[in-house]
Structure 1
Amino acid sequence: MFTTEDVKKIAKLSRLHITEEETEQYREKLGSILEYVDQLQEVDTMGVPELQHAVAVENVFRSDEPSIDLDERARAMEMFSARKGDLLEVQAVFSKDE
């Protein structure tokens, strides 16, 4: 199915550096892959609905709704050492040079 030159060309296009031994291994593997694809082509799929995904896909995320637990917020504020009123002061992320 595949010649050594075919494999070398595929390797070059893929920017892979393969040895002569690997070239022969890939030639055999690519051949068996194509044989398998040929077998799949023979399967009768008439009347079988097309699939977008092999398994059902559904959104499992919760809705994005803001919620405030005032007790939790108050505890966090109390534990934070550097604060100004209702604001928490953190270390600078960007320097003035940037």
Structure 2
Amino acid sequence: MERKLESKITAEIMQYLKTLDKCFFWKEHGGMYGTVGIPDIICCYHGKFLAFEVKRPVERPTKLQGKTIKDIQEAGGIVYVVNSVDDVKKYFESLNKSLCRKKLKEVVS
């Protein structure tokens, strides 16, 4: 089984995000000009703040990344720790179902 680099997984996720309507995103770059602990991909999708921390399957977020994830969630954002583009697709399928139910409730009300 191929063990993809985190950078390859991130590139695949960004290619997928390009196919979505009403999706604005960017790759957060670490290093001396970035903010340490920020998830790899920041995204706004249909008005929802999403962030994706990309990890290889055997890896976990660092303590600082975990704190940042918690802070984003406490502010109302949604953060996913993902290992593949398939993980991201599953989250978007679930999110889209939720958005459709919300719109249906608005129409019926």
TM-based fold match above 0.5: no
- Tell me the TM-score normalized by structure 1: 0.33
- Give the number of the structure whose residues are more often strand, by fraction: 2
- Tell me the TM-score normalized by structure 2: 0.30
In our comparison, the structure showing a higher alpha carbon Rg is 1
